[in-house]
Amino acid sequence: MAPSSYRNFASVALPVFVILCCPGLRPAASALVQEQPLVLKYHNGPLLKGNVTLNLLWYGAFSPAQRSIILDFLHSFSASAASQPPSVSSWWRTTAHYKGGPSNLAVGVQILDESYSLGKSLKTGQLAALASKVGYKSIKTKALAINLVLTSTDVAVDGFCMSRCGTHGSGAAGKAKFTYAWVGNAVSQCPGQCAWPFHQPQYGPQTPPLVAPNGDVGVDGMVINLATVLAGTVTNPFNNGYYQGVAGAPLEAVSACTGIFGKGAYPGYPGQVLVDKTTGASYNAIGVHGRKFLLPAMWDPKTFACETLV
């Protein structure tokens, strides 16, 4: 079922572009200048609250190990999956501070498209078409869902690596609306842009990269971008929820905090995070099966600040 129309709302911007402009990312020396609180204005639109299904379309070549990393991350959002702190579920609970209460995510339908049904170069409209395919049942029943398209490392997507690392938006199939999100594996295309801080940045301050917690720079980078677009989707699903700036290029729950992973972050430095004593990998969140992840800061409407887990 192809959507009759779609709108692309927000993208995960390349870190170098956002790090240089966003509040909360300045070195300590600039603390002498009093900063104004970061405020994401609520624009009175509907949010995705309550039980929300995540339908996944794996587009291209993903190994079972790669799918396992991402699925463990998504399963970790549930409160019932709470692990030892700092947990992925406690990070996600910040979205409950937005109007309407918690957003309870659960994985639903999964489709493997290993034959690249639309080729290896995709336009934004094709992402929406793929999303409507995996979300057909949810769209038909008007159930709350996010239809998620994940593209493998050999798939080019319009704007990928040039202006975005992922995106979310909405579409319409007849009278039914749906939300979708997309994130791509950047390891062979632009790891310094869309998999930072696990790869040397392509531009800006050249700090040593962190060791990826699951040993896969591309997929661990996808987790960061997934966290960004999912938080943006539930708090600004139809471009009239929470955001700062103009509607065409909004700063959302996580994208307003780009580049911050721990205390003391500033441009080019992700902040103080935890380090696995055995592997040397950096992380700040623990999920199901003891899986470790590095998650970005999220704006908390209770504190009007970008909050980190560590």
Per-residue pLDDT of the chain (310 residues; tens, 9 = 90+): 444 455 665 776 654 333 222 333 333 333 444 556 789 999 999 999 999 999 999 999 999 999 999 999 999 998 776 668 999 999 999 999 999 999 999 999 999 999 999 999 999 999 999 999 998 888 777 789 999 999 999 999 999 999 999 999 998 877 788 999 999 999 999 999 999 999 998 877 788 999 999 999 999 999 999 999 999 999 999 999 999 999 989 999 999 999 999 999 998 999 999 999 999 999 999 999 999 999 999 999 999 999 999 9
pLDDT of residue 8: 63
pLDDT of residue 25: 32
What do you get for the CA distance between the two ends of the chain, in Å? 43
Beta bridge partners of 123: none
pLDDT of residue 30: 34
pLDDT of residue 260: 97
pLDDT of residue 120: 98
Q: What is the pTM of this model?
A: 0.90
CB 228 within 8 A of CB 255: yes
CB 242 within 8 A of CB 253: yes
List, in order, residues 6 or more apart from 15 with CB less than 8 Å away.
193, 196, 201, 258, 259
pLDDT of residue 27: 35
Distance, CA of 265 to CA of 159 (rounded, Å): 27
pLDDT of residue 86: 95
Site of tokens 């070195």: 27
- DSSP states of the chain: ---SEEEEEEEE--HHHHHTTSTT---GGGGGSPPPPP--EE-S-----EEEEEEEEEES---HHHHHHHHHHHHTTSGGG--SSSBHHHHHGGGGGSTT--EEEEEEEEEEETT-TT-SEE-HHHHHHHHHHHTHHHHHHT--EEEEEEE-TT-EETTBTTTBSEEEEEEEETTEEEEEEEEE--TTT-HHHHSTTSS--SSS--PPPPPPTTS-HHHHHHHHHHHHHHHHHHHSTTSSSEEBS-TTS-B-TTGGGTT--SBT-BTTB--B-EE-TTT--EESEE-GGG-EE----EEETTTTEEE---
pLDDT of residue 203: 78
Burial class (CB in 10 A: 0-12, 13-18, 19+), 260: buried
Q: Tell me how far CA of residue 210 lies from CA of 68, 167, 239, in angstroms.
A: 21, 24, 34
Q: Tell me how far CA of residue 196 lies from CA of 81, 121, 260, 295, in angstroms.
A: 27, 23, 11, 12
CB 220 within 8 A of CB 295: no
